Structure 1
Amino acid sequence: MEHNKSSTNKTNDIVQTNEPLQSVNTTEDEIDLRELVTVIWAGKLVIMLVTALFAFVAVIYAINQPNVYRSEALLAPAEQEGAGGLASLAGQFGGLASLAGVNLGGGVSNKSQLAIEVLKSRQFTSSFIQKHNILPNLMAAESWSMQANRVVYDDELFNSENNEWIREVKAPFKPQPSMQEAYKAFSKAMSASTDKETGMVTLSVQHVSPYIAQQWVNWLVEDINQTMKEREVAEAKRSTEFLQQQLQQTEIADIREVLYKLIEEQTKTIMFAKVRDEYVFKTIDAALVPEEKSKPKRALIVVLGTMLGGILSVVLVFIRHFMRKHKNYVSLLVE
């Protein structure tokens, strides 16, 4: 009995000693919260100055950013006449056609997706830049003068009067940008996306000049249609030559009939390509000269810059306070 009483007393003592500890921890938490508020209030001048500095820098940065305009066109995959005839032959003569290099399958969607990948390729981009001589407008355009409707070039990169590149770069780069550099810049300016539900393609270009943005979109639509047309015609001609060779080498009536049908379909492909300008994409909504800029979002830049300054200033005040507190604590221990 005495042993039980002593153990009960010890338990009560432990419970009693735990209660003050909990209250002390709660008090310390409250003190810490008050301390944080006190530290912020004491450092309000630093917070205000740093936040104002960041806001000022954000305003200057936003003002100095040139307006960028976005022009876009809505395109639809062009229907391929003769596609039905090719599809009907695919099941019967697919093996023979594949030997001839004739594509009986595919369809409109595959051709449009292929066209988009060609549009994004290095080879097409390089040819497009060189064909239309847009390298200065792509790599050296700094801003656009609305009154004169002309592009203002960066004087440190390009001399527009002499049409000469003067930028200073280290080897292996040269004053005139290479096609690899131009491809990277053009890939950022141009975008092409396909709506999965409708299959419509949106082609857009961003530039400091709204007129150049519209012009580039129109050129891209024309060039990709022409490029895909030339690829299809070249492939159809090669396939026709092969089929004609096979036709001369066989006397079996059924095979000759199949070869004649395949040649007929390739002839249709060549004919439709020659009479149609919009071979892969039909323009549903043509590109316009944009009246409003797409970026920069100057108000958003200022807001984010001010918020960043406020957060960093508060962190700075806390770091300074706790460093002083730690230093005082260390000095007390030394004493």
Structure 2
Amino acid sequence: MSSNAAQQTYYPDDEIDLRELFATLWRGKWVIVLFTVVFAFAGVAYALYKPNIYQSSVLVAPAQEEGGGLSGLAGQFGGLASLAGINLSGGGSNQTVIAKEVLQSRAFLTAFFHRHNMEVPLMAIKGWNEDSGEWVYDRSEYNPEASEWLLDSDGKSYKPSDWDMVEAFREEHFSISEAKDTGIITVSVKHYSPVMAKKWAENLVKDINEHMRKQDVEEAEARIAYLEEKLSETNISGMQQVFYQLIESETRTVMLANAQREYVFKTVDPAVVAEEKSEPKRALICVIATLLGGMLGVFVVFIRAFVANGQKPEVKADKRITTSTAV
């Protein structure tokens, strides 16, 4: 015994009904408009609330190193100099790389902050009054009248640590970049005050030059002392002549370092007081906020339609598959 039974099963199709889609959007147009307007006003308010930030930059190039005489000595006495712990080869490019890393190091920046009394302008300022030229303090953490940091609810002072200042400076104020084709280095500093940004940028270049100069002078003087000690211990005239020439080269290094103000970085374009802000991009903030509001409004409309209909509004169930079975 056999019989044919036709069973019809319906499956939802994944085709999108554009008319239903636009009808859903039209029904929820006021929701979309509401979200767009609210986010637009919020974006405008946030953009106006954000204070202006100014950037000042210094363009520097690696200083030319006087290495002619040292190169000659390196060829003649390189082996003996290496035994004495002295490097006579030119190291200008390597010195530039080291100077860049030192400029961003925690130890250098910490000393820089304390040397220039940057604790308050770095951590207690939240704006700058363009009309009066005065700072706007964060009075919830710092009392400018008493020049002291306040205490929180647990009795702990808001006074920042050295690490807090380094992190804030690296993330919000300081940047350094290098043009690979020319080797020109840009040291940039941002701050609410354009005058302060210019001052910090100038001081950074000045201090790194002084730091590297002082370090090289101290190392050269230590090598001179070592060579003079070895000179007094030998009676061989040939060795004495070698030591005299090595001492002469190190003395020359000290003299040139003391006479060279821009020791590692030579200023190509000095910092200036910025007349225009670099941040915030208020127009961009308003546009992004408006777009986010519109997209969120569309999303809410679709969610409401899905909940109301029990299925996605843009899906149309019209695909039919017929299967036949024989028994």
In structure 2, what is the Cα distance between the partners aligned to 1:30 and 1:155?
Answer: 57
Give the structure 2 partner of residue 64 of structure 1.
Answer: 49
Change in 2 beyond 3 A, CA 1:30/1:271? closer
2:315 is the alignment partner of 1:323: no
In structure 2, what is the Cα distance between the partners aligned to 1:106 and 1:136?
Answer: 42
2:166 is the alignment partner of 1:180: no
Give the structure 1 partner of residue 150 of structure 2.
Answer: 166
Indicate the SS of the match to 1:293. Answer: coil
Give the structure 2 partner of residue 29 of structure 1.
Answer: 15
Give the structure 2 partner of residue 12 of structure 1.
Answer: none
Give the structure 1 partner of residue 281 of structure 2.
Answer: 297
Q: More relative contact order in 1 or in 2 (CA 8 Å, sep 6+)?
A: 2
Q: How far did 1:155 drift?
A: 0.8
Retained in 2: the 8 A contact 1:165–1:176? yes
Q: How far did 1:53 drift?
A: 0.8
Give the structure 2 partner of residue 50 of structure 1.
Answer: 35
Which consecutive unaligned segments of at least 5 residues does structure 1 have?
1-20, 329-335
In structure 2, what is the Cα distance between the partners aligned to 1:102 and 1:321?
Answer: 79
Change in 2 beyond 3 A, CA 1:30/1:226? closer
TM-score (norm 2): 0.86
Change in 2 beyond 3 A, CA 1:318/1:90? farther
RMSD: 2.3
Retained in 2: the 8 A contact 1:169–1:175? no
Q: Deviation digits for residues 34-76 of structure 1, max 9, x if unmatched? A: 2222211111111110111111111100000000000011112
Indicate the SS of the match to 1:29. Answer: coil
Indicate the SS of the match to 2:15. Answer: helix
Matches within 5 A, 1:50-199: 50-81=35-66, 83-166=67-150, 168=152, 174-188=157-171, 189-199=173-183
Give the structure 2 partner of residue 9 of structure 1.
Answer: none
Give the structure 1 partner of residue 247 of structure 2.
Answer: 263
Q: Give the share of equivalent positions with the same residue, in percent.
A: 46
Change in 2 beyond 3 A, CA 1:274/1:51? same
In structure 2, what is the Cα distance between the partners aligned to 1:252 and 1:196?
Answer: 50
Matches within 5 A, 1:1-16: none
In structure 1, what is the Cα distance between the partners aligned to 2:259 and 2:69?
Answer: 19
2:209 is the alignment partner of 1:233: no
Indicate the SS of the match to 2:277. Answer: coil
Q: How far did 1:254 drift?
A: 4.1
Give the structure 1 partner of residue 266 of structure 2.
Answer: 282
Q: Which has the higher strand share?
A: 2
TM-score (norm 1): 0.84
Retained in 2: the 8 A contact 1:94–1:104? yes
In structure 2, what is the Cα distance between the partners aligned to 1:30 and 1:179?
Answer: 59
Q: Deviation digits for residues 76-121 of structure 1, max 9, x if unmatched? A: 211122x222233334433433333323235222212211111111
In structure 1, what is the Cα distance between the partners aligned to 2:153 and 2:209?
Answer: 37
Q: How far did 1:163 drift?
A: 0.7
Match of 1:314 among 298, 302, 309: 298
In structure 1, what is the Cα distance between the partners aligned to 2:32 and 2:209?
Answer: 58
Retained in 2: the 8 A contact 1:193–1:202? yes
Q: Deviation digits for residues 107-150 of structure 1, max 9, x if unmatched? A: 22221221111111111111111111111100111111122212
Retained in 1: the 8 A contact 2:58–2:269? yes
- Once the two structures are overlaid, the 10-residue window that deviates more, 211-220 or 35-44, is 35-44
Retained in 2: the 8 A contact 1:233–1:269? yes
Change in 2 beyond 3 A, CA 1:307/1:161? same
Change in 2 beyond 3 A, CA 1:30/1:199? closer
Retained in 1: the 8 A contact 2:61–2:266? yes
